[in-house]
Amino acid sequence: MTGPEDSTPEDRTIGRRALFATGAATALTLGTVSFASAAPGGESGGAPAERTRVVAGTLPPGTPDFVYLPVEVPRGVREIAVSYTYEKATVPAGTQNNALDIGIFDERGTELGGRGFRGWSGGARTEFFIRADAATPGYIPGPVRAGTWHIVLGPYTVAPQGLPYTVTITLKSGERGTTPKPVYPPPRAKGRGRAWYRGDCHLHSWYSDGKRTPAEIAALARAAGLDFINTSDHNTHASHPAWEGLWGDDLLILTGEEITTRNGHVLALGTDPGTFVDWRYRARDNRFGRFAREIRRAGGLVVPAHPHATCVGCNWKFGFGEADAVEVWNGPYTPDDEVSLQEWDNTLALAGRSGGSWTPAMGNSDAHRDPDRIGGPQTVVLADDLSREAIQAGLKAGHSYVAESSALSLAFTVSGGRGGHAGIGERLRVARDEPVTVRLDVTGAPGCTAAFVTDQGTLFTAPAGAVEWRTTASYATYVRAEVRHPPLVAGLPGPLAAFTNPVFLGD
């Protein structure tokens, strides 16, 4: 194997590096890749302007979640560039094939939740670069300082034959550029005072595995009739400054992240711009509570996403004790959304019986690329203002409903015989046997059916429009509304067009 001190700009170091444990059960570290010193100025400084190393190996089945490749970066480096490839295998039907993610940490280290994170692209890109004045989308611009950097490989799935990979690292020397000062979206838009505001809080740009630019997303959000959006690229905050100039009086842009663990995904909704939340843990590691608290300290909400999605690693395993809300409806309505809806409804029944707290539901598009429809679905929240604080307060209180588009609107109230009334997410305090009137007004849902759902199940249905029903607190601990399209399969419920958070009944 060629030693790094003897290499030229065209040399390639190829070899399998021995694996050894870092002390954590879920990570391994490869042997260190070393480069000769490189002075600023390229050849005139006495060192080549560009040096490259190549590392190849095979990860066996059962490899830990994260494999770190240390890279000794000398002084005088202007840019680090990384590319990688891996091989697919021939596998039997029903067996997961190879999938390998990638990212990088700088000389500040790989400590969980530490400051060393410099970017992540998952499996969306085969190469990236970082320098002071620019970086590949998903990565953080900034100086390439001397020290031990770590390329992180994430073997998402490994075939029985193993996962052969090759990583190519290139260091370029020369004068450093200037890191631009980030400009972040403001926390408030003009708004309409206390009103119902429409938003989509689960969106992906080309800063992770999406195909749309922030400008394209902002334009589509406005076209969809949205008042606010939340940025939620996978495992990176790199897009937070990329929305400069895209907000306006009519569009509030919140910053966040989709934290993509191996045991489920969670939205950090409306965190302080520039906040990074780590994802390198499983439910068995007992770390989620720590990072949920980090999200809240950064001013965000904790929202488990698509909890019953069928993709590998998507099913939510952390429980809902830390959740401020839960994404019950994700993108086009599918059977896993129906399972999420019914599971969430079960938690309402428990909260209604115990009088304890409950977790509000929301819906988002999870849009990545055409033809994914931004705002399909969207959460419509009653807020005092079009600001981060007010929108988050409305979501956390459950003063919201979910609709398939801005063409559909709901008005849902419950009133008692003595003039009391309650709206979505509230409690109507009435005696157990006092009659109450439930009213739902639906617009923009032709051909749909409206239903009132309680802890006993669906107790009343009618064509969507102006619908009323009478009940008591002894008969219904809570009431919520659903609007559905006709069934696609006889005997099964039709796809949702809209649904509300509940109104609870009783003292």
Q: Which two tokens stand for residue 188?
A: 């408030």
Nearest-angstrom CA–CA distance, 199 and 376: 10
Q: Which two tokens stand for residue 358?
A: 């409950």
| Residues forming a β-bridge with 471 | 436
Q: With 80 as the cut, is the pLDDT of residue 15 above it?
A: no
> In what side-by-side order are the strands of the sheet with 77-86?
50-59, 163-173, 77-86, 127-131
- Cα→Cα distances 337→78, 340, 343, 344, 461, Å: 48, 5, 10, 10, 21
pLDDT value at position 94? 93
Nearest-angstrom CA–CA distance, 130 and 206: 16
DSSP state letters, 343-371: HHHHHHHHHHHHT-----EEEE--B-STT
Give the model confidence (pLDDT) of 366-412 as tens digits: 999 999 999 999 999 999 999 999 999 999 999 999 999 999 999 99
Beta-strand relationship, 77-86 and 163-173:
antiparallel
Q: With 70 as the cut, is the pLDDT of residue 431 above it?
A: yes
Q: With 60 as the cut, is the pLDDT of residue 41 above it?
A: no
Residue matched to tokens 């980030």: 182
| 32 secondary structure, DSSP code | P
Nearest-angstrom CA–CA distance, 455 and 346: 8
pLDDT bucket at 37, cuts 50 / 70 / 90: low
Residue 147, helix vs strand vs coil: strand
Q: Which two tokens stand for residue 190?
A: 């003009």
With CA atoms as reference, report the closest residue to 363 among 221, 185, 210, 500.
500
Rounded to two decimals, the pTM is 0.93
pLDDT value at position 19? 44
Q: With 50 as the cut, is the pLDDT of residue 11 above it?
A: no
What value does the mean pLDDT take over residues 418-436? Answer: 93
pLDDT value at position 23? 36
CB contact at 8 A, 506 and 420 = no
Mean pLDDT of all residues belonging to the chain: 92
pLDDT value at position 47? 56
Q: With 80 as the cut, is the pLDDT of residue 3 above it?
A: no
Q: Which two tokens stand for residue 180?
A: 């631009």
Give the model confidence (pLDDT) of 265-317 as tens digits: 999 999 999 999 999 999 999 999 999 999 999 999 999 999 999 999 999 99
pLDDT bucket at 8, cuts 50 / 70 / 90: very low
pLDDT value at position 10? 36
Task: Say how many C-beta atoms besides its own lie within 10 A of residue 487's C-beta.
Answer: 12
Those residues with Cβ within 8 angstroms of residue 354's Cβ, 6 or more apart along the chain or in another chain = none
Task: Say how many C-beta atoms besides its own lie within 10 A of residue 42's C-beta.
Answer: 19
What value does the mean pLDDT take over residues 220-232? Answer: 98
Q: Sign of the C-alpha dihedral, residues 228, 230, 231, 234?
A: negative
Q: With 70 as the cut, is the pLDDT of residue 36 above it?
A: no
CB contact at 8 A, 316 and 264 = yes
Give the model confidence (pLDDT) of 52-86 as tens digits: 999 999 999 999 999 999 999 999 999 999 999 99
Residue 221, helix vs strand vs coil: helix
Q: With 70 as the cut, is the pLDDT of residue 132 above it?
A: yes
Q: Sign of the C-alpha dihedral, residues 387, 390, 394, 396?
A: positive
Nearest-angstrom CA–CA distance, 361 and 328: 6
The percent of residues above 90 in pLDDT, for the chain, comes to 89
Beta-strand relationship, 33-34 and 66-73:
parallel
Those residues with Cβ within 8 angstroms of residue 237's Cβ, 6 or more apart along the chain or in another chain = 140, 255, 257, 273, 274, 275, 276
